[in-house]
Amino acid sequence: MDDNSTVRAVAIDYKAVLRSPGCAHDGIADFLRWLGEHGISFVLLTTDPVDAEAVLAAAGLPAPTLHLSRDDIPGTPNRGSGVWLQEAAERLKLRLNQMVLVGTSELDWRTGINAGVVHVFARWANHIRNAKGMITLSADDPTDVRELLEHFFLDEPRWAFSHDEPARSFKIRSLLPPNVRFPQAPGRTFELQDVFTRGRTISVGNQDARDILMLRLLSSAYLDGTLPHRSLFCVYPSSSPGQVSQQLAGFLTKAKVMVGSYYREDLLERVGQAPDTSLERWRRSRGEASTADISIGAQARTVRINPTYRGKLTGKTVIVFDDFTTEGKSIEWARTLLTSAQVAQVIALTIGKYGASRHTAYQLRPGTTIDPYKVSYHLAAANFVTTPVTGAAGPGPDDALKATMSHFITTAHSTD
């Protein structure tokens, strides 16, 4: 078993490799050589048995590390079954989250979803427009896949804060400290709050900074093994009723299929106005007086699980996304609600982490009960037992992300 927490194999549908017999797609030869130079296995997928080494040699391409046709797959299932990638992972002695699939059809897309493997749509080989809603990462040419791997899947996952608590079936991962500044353009920078607190659209070269940051968050969780297959995604609601962070929600609406998960924007809902904790902390840091309640009690009295999910969450894994966390009151209340609804595991993913390694675990005091589908008007901070938690802290992937931003800026300027 390869102990690296990075992508170690790329499975590619043969139609993304060969335009026709003996003729390779533009750029594919360089891409396959690049995979070999970086020790990444090339897995070729074909429906029918072929002499893969001879077929690729005729097109001037290197032989695959592994070739699989339908006859090689237990039960000989058609493409679309996750067993294809399970077989590839087993033969290469890899975990499924050490693979990426490059496909050309809806069936390839379903193969990735059903295995929990990231799928990239090879637009250079097939410009399918799927009316059924095939949403996926996509690449216009093989160089785009290389860029995706280099900047999001070949760096070991690193977190500003991480903590696993098996006893509470809870994990938290935060990508970056809040004070990092990233290049936006030559001589210009931006900070995380510009995107996720102030709601600005920041362009980095030809890319959206929001998408770069969120893709890094998700790819890190994928490589880390904390993005389980068939999980439910949701966003912790904003301080105003009926609202969630549109920066987070806008990305997750498309990214839900990254590992075959489901996005439920309305799973957690704010039914009463609560103080804006970010704003209140900023005011207090400036020495301004404030009587606003930013305790976990304020969350309990205003956030519940949408009653339409009653009885539907038992045994599920729910991933709660939030922009920032400090001591964890919001995500701890989310955990309390979800575990009370018989969720098997709660994972919190946030872009930023204030307070370095500081986190507080909140447990309802013995004898305190809640209905997670109703607002807990009776709860206050005194109804919780608190325990300080020290997690693993670090700088996160700030250096790699700065290099990524610089790369996109340079690439955009070179094509102007």
Tokens of 70: 């339908």
Work out the angle between the directed axes of helices 398-414 and 209-224 (0-180°, nearest 10). 140
- Identity (one letter) of the amino acid at 292? A
Residue 131's pLDDT is: 42
Up-side HSE of residue 340: CA atoms within 13 Å toward CB? 19
Residue 362's pLDDT is: 96
**CA–CA gap between residue 143 and residue 410 (Å, rounded):** 16
H-assigned helices in 116-200: 142-148, 192-196
**CA–CA gap between residue 142 and residue 24 (Å, rounded):** 12
Whether 341 contacts 309, CB under 8 Å: yes
Q: What is the CATH number of domain 161-393?
A: 3.40.50
Same fold, 9-153 and 161-393: yes
Residue 101 has pLDDT above 50, yes or no: yes
Tokens of 346: 């709660």
pLDDT confidence tier of residue 398, bands split at 50, 70 and 90: very high
pLDDT confidence tier of residue 136, bands split at 50, 70 and 90: confident
**CA–CA gap between residue 143 and residue 115 (Å, rounded):** 25
Give the CATH architecture of domain 9-153: 3-Layer(aba) Sandwich (3.40)
Q: Give percent of the chain above pLDDT 90.
A: 76
**CA–CA gap between residue 42 and residue 28 (Å, rounded):** 12
Tokens of 271: 């039914």
Domain ranges of the chain: 9-153, 161-393
Phi, psi of 293 (to 5 degrees): -85, 110
How many CB atoms are located within 10 Å of the residue 316 CB? Answer: 19
Phi, psi of 102 (to 5 degrees): -110, 115
pLDDT confidence tier of residue 232, bands split at 50, 70 and 90: very high
pLDDT confidence tier of residue 273, bands split at 50, 70 and 90: confident
List of residues 6+ apart from 133 with CB closer than 8 A: none
Q: Residues 315-361: pLDDT tens digits?
A: 999 999 999 998 899 999 999 999 999 999 999 999 999 987 889 99
**CA–CA gap between residue 217 and residue 174 (Å, rounded):** 8
H-assigned helices in 286-375: 296-300, 329-340
The whole-number average pLDDT for the span 373-391 is 94
Bridging pattern class, strands 181-185 and 188-191: antiparallel
Residue 229's pLDDT is: 86
Tokens of 6: 């990075």
Phi, psi of 359 (to 5 degrees): -155, 150
Residue 289 has pLDDT above 60, yes or no: no
Q: Residues 237-259: pLDDT tens digits?
A: 987 887 677 778 778 876 766 77
